[in-house]
Structure 1
Amino acid sequence: MPKWKTKEQVVQLLCELVQIPSITGSQAERVLPDFVIEQLSAFSYFQKHPDHLQKNPVGDGRHFVTALVKKNSEIKNTVILVSHFDVVDVQDYGVWKEYAFQPKELTSLFYRNKDKVPEAVRDDIASGNWLFGRGTMDMKCGLALHMAMIEKAIGGAFDGNILLLAVPDEEVNSAGMRAAVPRLLELAQQYGLDYTAVLNSEPMFTQYPGDQNKYIYTGSIGKVLPGFYCYGKETHVGEPFAGLNANFMASILTAELELNTELCEMVEGEAAPPPTNLLQKDLKEEYSVQIPHRAVTLFNLFLLEKTMADVVFLLHRKAIQAAAKMDEFYAKRAAEFAKYSPFHLPELQVKVLTYEELVSYAIHQHGKEKIKSLQQELLSKQEDKDDREATIEAVDKLAIMCKELAPMIVLFFTPPYYPAVSSRNHPSIKTVTREMAAYALERHGITFKKQNYFGGISDLSYVGLQYPADSMGSFIRNFPLWDQGYSIPLSELEEFDVPVINLGPTGRDAHQWTERLDIGYSLDILLDMLPVCIQKLHEAPIEMRVME
C-alpha cells in the first residue's frame, strides 16, 4: 500500500514530523531519527536490506539517518538527498506557543483569528493554501518530500541510486552534517557508490518583501563569525581619561563594520548581505565604578568567493582603521576637557593583534607549557558552555596574561564556520537547472529564477571545498576552538567533491511565529517536479569522480 504518493499522504507525514518538537539541542531532536527509521523500516526493501537504513552517531548523543536505495548491484551513480530535522525555539509564538508544533490546529486558529495576525499573513490566509507551524517551512517539508522520494526509488522510479541523509543541528553548528561527511565517504566505499549530486530541499527565501519569485539554487552562501576582543585600560569613573573604556572600543568597531558594504561580495550580479553584529558586551562580572576595560563584539559575515586569507586580511585592516578612530576620538575629547580642567594628557595608542599573534607573544613571555596548560584547563571546563562563550573566555584569559599590551584589539574567529559552495559552472548542474526551468514553465506555468547561492545558510556548505584546505592556515590559527572542541573535516571535504543543487518548497517567515508553508506549490507541484529533477541528475553529463 502506498505511503506517501499523494499530496494528502505527504501532508500527513509532514504534520507527524512537525509534531515532534525537535528544537536544536532538545531531547526531541534525539528522538526524531527513530521516527524516520520506523517509517522507512515499513518498506520491504529495508527489511530485505536492513544495513541500508542506519542511525549514525554524531558523537554528542545525537544521530543522523542514512537510507540507501540501490537500483541494482551494478549501478554506482547516486544522488544524495540532504535535509535537516532540527528547528529553532518557539518562544516567539507567545500565546500560540502550545500549538506551535500542532500545524493543523494552529492553522485553524490563525484562520479563525485573522484579525490578530499581520496583514501579509491575512493575505495568504485568504488563499486558503497555507499550513502554519514551526518547521513546516524550515525544513521538515523538505524531509517529508525526500522520504516520499525514497518510496519512489524503491518502486524503481529512477535510473540510479538514492541516498537519503537527514541530520540534526543545522540551525546552530551543523554538527550533524560535519559528522556525516566522513560517513558518506565510507558508504561510497562500502557499497560502490559514485556521488553525482547532492540535492537539498531547503525552502526558497524571498529576496525582498512581497517577492513572489520561485528560485532554484546552485550553491549556498558561506559564513564566518569574526570577533574583536577589546582590552582598554582600567580606571575610576572619576578619572575617565586615565583609562580607556572597552565598551567604547567595541562600539567603534561595531560602527565601523555594521552594514558596511565594503565587506560585501558581488558575484554575477548577486550580492552577499553586509555584516551585522550578533553580540556585543563587556566582560565585567559585577557592577562597580571601575570602567569596563574588557569587552567583545561578534559579527555575522557572509562569504561568496573570498579566500579565508583575504577575509583575515580585510578584517585586520578594518580593525586598524577602527583603532585609529579610537585614538583620534580619545585625543579630541581629552583636549576638549582640558580646556575646563587642565591635566596631563596621557598617550594611548590602540594596538591591533590577531589571536595568533597574541598566542605567540604569550608563549614568548610565559613559556609554551604554561600557555598549553591554560588552554587545556579551559577546554576541560568547556562542556556546558556555548561555543561562542568558550571562545571568548579563551581569548580573555590569554589577554589578561598579556595585559601589558593594552590597549589592544584582538581579532579571532568563533564557531560556526560555513564555507561558501557553488556549482553554477558544473556541466551537470547547468544542464539540470536549465531543463528544470523549462519543465516548470511548460508543465506548471512557473518561471524559475536561478540563484548562484542559497542565502539562508545550509548544510550544502559541507559538500566539497572551494579552495584547498592548506589555504586556510591563517584562518585556522586565529580560531581558538579549532580542533579543540570544534572542527570541520577538511581533508574529507576535499575528497567529497560533489556538485550541489537546491530545489525546495515555498514558504514565508522562517524562524518567526508566522512561519508557514505554501501547500499548493510545495506538496503538489514540487511533489511532481522533485522526482523529475532527481532523474535528470542521473541522466545529465557528469564529470565522474570515484570515491577512493
Structure 2
Amino acid sequence: MKTVRDGCDSCSAALLNNEESELSDAHKQIKVMSYQELELYVREKHSNEWIDAKINQISTHLTWDKREQSIRITEMLLNSCPEIGPVAVCFFAPPYYPAVNSSEDPLVKKIISRLKNDATVHPDRKLKHRHFFNGISDLSYVVQAKSEDNAEFISKNMPVWKRGYSIPFEDISQLKAPVLNMGSFGKDPHLRSERLHKQSAFIETPKLIRTVIDEIINSSKGDDD
C-alpha cells in the first residue's frame, strides 16, 4: 500500500497547491484504505444483514467475473458511506498467486549451482539466478509463502473471498515442495507477436531440464544411502 499512499500524497499536494481548484481542502486530501478497513467502517454504519445481502447479490451476478464483482462490491461499500471520500481502496482480485521462494532450499541451491557452473549445459549462454519470477506460475500453489500472516491478510482484503473463490492455504502448507521455475527465452508473452527463441526452446532448455532431473535423482540416491 505504500506505493498507493505515495501516489495519493503527490496528488493531494498538487491539489492543495492549485489555487484555482474549487474543492475544499478537506476534499483535496486523498485517503488510502484497505478493503478490510473499508468493510469494517461500513459495517459500523449499516446492518450486517443489509451489507451481506448486497455483497451476495453482486457475488452471484452471472455476467460479471470475479474481478468485476470485486470492483462492484468495493464501489457498493463506498457509495453506502460517501463521507469517506475521496479515498483509494486497495484490495485483491482473483486470480491471486502467492509470492513464494525456495532459494534457500538445500536441493534448489545445489541444482542452481550445478546449472550455473556446468559449461556443458549451456556453453554459449550465461545463466542468472533470479529469486522471483516476474509473472504468474502454478508453482505458487505447491509451497507456502514465508509469512503465515499472508493467508489472513489476503482473505480479509479480497471482496469475493469464500464467495466463489478461495485459495487452499492449509493444503498448500502440507505440500512444502521446493520450487524452481525454468523456461525458454522468448518475447511478447500473450500478444499476437509472442514467439520463442528456437535455440533456447528446443536445444538449451531440454538440457537444463535433464540436468535438473539428474541432480534430483542423484540427491535422492544420496539420501537413501
**Interval containing the TM-score (normalised by the shorter chain):** 0.7 to 0.9
Give the 3-state SS of the residue equivalent to 1:357 in structure 2. helix
Distance 2:63 2:120 in 1: 54
Distance 2:21 2:186 in 1: 56
Partner of 1:423: 102
C-alpha displacement at 1:364, in angstroms?
1.8
Residue 365 in 1 paired to residue 45 in 2? yes
Partner of 1:374: 54
- Of 421, 431, 445 in structure 1, the residue corresponding to residue 123 of structure 2 is 445
In the comparison of the two structures, how many residue pairs are matched?
219
C-alpha displacement at 1:470, in angstroms?
4.0
Residue deviations 1:199-235, cap 9 Å, x none?
xxxxxxxxxxxxxxxxxxxxxxxxxxxxxxxxxxxxx
Higher helix fraction: Structure 1 or Structure 2? 2
C-alpha displacement at 1:468, in angstroms?
4.4
Give the 3-state SS of the residue equivalent to 2:128 in structure 1. strand
Give the 3-state SS of the residue equivalent to 1:540 in structure 2. helix
C-alpha displacement at 1:385, in angstroms?
1.3
Residue 355 in 1 paired to residue 31 in 2? no
- Of 482, 485, 488 in structure 1, the residue corresponding to residue 164 of structure 2 is 485
Partner of 1:225: none
C-alpha displacement at 1:525, in angstroms?
4.1
C-alpha displacement at 1:537, in angstroms?
1.1
C-alpha displacement at 1:489, in angstroms?
0.9
Higher strand fraction: Structure 1 or Structure 2? 1
Distance 1:347 1:528 in 2: 63
Q: Gapped runs of 5+ residues in structure 1? A: 1-311, 339-344
Superposition RMSD in Å: 2.8
User: Closer, same or farther in 2 for the Cα pair 1:326/1:518, shift >3 Å?
Assistant: closer
Give the 3-state SS of the residue equivalent to 1:364 in structure 2. helix
Does the CA contact (< 8 Å) of 2:35 and 2:89 recur in 1?
Answer: yes
User: Closer, same or farther in 2 for the Cα pair 1:330/1:493, shift >3 Å?
Assistant: same
User: Closer, same or farther in 2 for the Cα pair 1:432/1:330, shift >3 Å?
Assistant: closer
C-alpha displacement at 1:422, in angstroms?
1.8
Distance 1:361 1:448 in 2: 50
Residue 536 in 1 paired to residue 196 in 2? no
Percent of residue pairs bearing the same amino acid type: 29
Give the 3-state SS of the residue equivalent to 1:352 in structure 2. strand
Distance 2:86 2:56 in 1: 27
Q: Gapped runs of 5+ residues in structure 2? A: none
Query: After TM superposition, what 4+ stretches of structure 1 lie above 6 angstroms from structure 2?
Result: none
Does the CA contact (< 8 Å) of 2:70 and 2:93 recur in 1?
Answer: yes
Partner of 1:465: 144
- Of 159, 162, 176 in structure 2, the residue corresponding to residue 497 of structure 1 is 176
Name which one, 1 or 2, has greater alpha-carbon Rg: 1
Partner of 1:511: 190
Does the CA contact (< 8 Å) of 2:121 and 2:204 recur in 1?
Answer: no
Distance 1:512 1:429 in 2: 32
C-alpha displacement at 1:487, in angstroms?
1.6
C-alpha displacement at 1:324, in angstroms?
4.5
Distance 1:536 1:512 in 2: 35
Aligned amino acid, residue 450 of structure 1: H
- Of 78, 94, 113 in structure 2, the residue corresponding to residue 434 of structure 1 is 113
Give the 3-state SS of the residue equivalent to 1:415 in structure 2. coil
C-alpha displacement at 1:523, in angstroms?
2.1
Give the 3-state SS of the residue equivalent to 2:83 in structure 1. helix
Aligned amino acid, residue 423 of structure 1: S
C-alpha displacement at 1:457, in angstroms?
2.6
Give the 3-state SS of the residue equivalent to 1:492 in structure 2. helix
C-alpha displacement at 1:488, in angstroms?
1.2
User: Closer, same or farther in 2 for the Cα pair 1:336/1:513, shift >3 Å?
Assistant: closer
Residue deviations 1:305-326, cap 9 Å, x none?
xxxxxxx5x35xx43x555444
Give the 3-state SS of the residue equivalent to 2:93 in structure 1. strand
C-alpha displacement at 1:497, in angstroms?
0.8
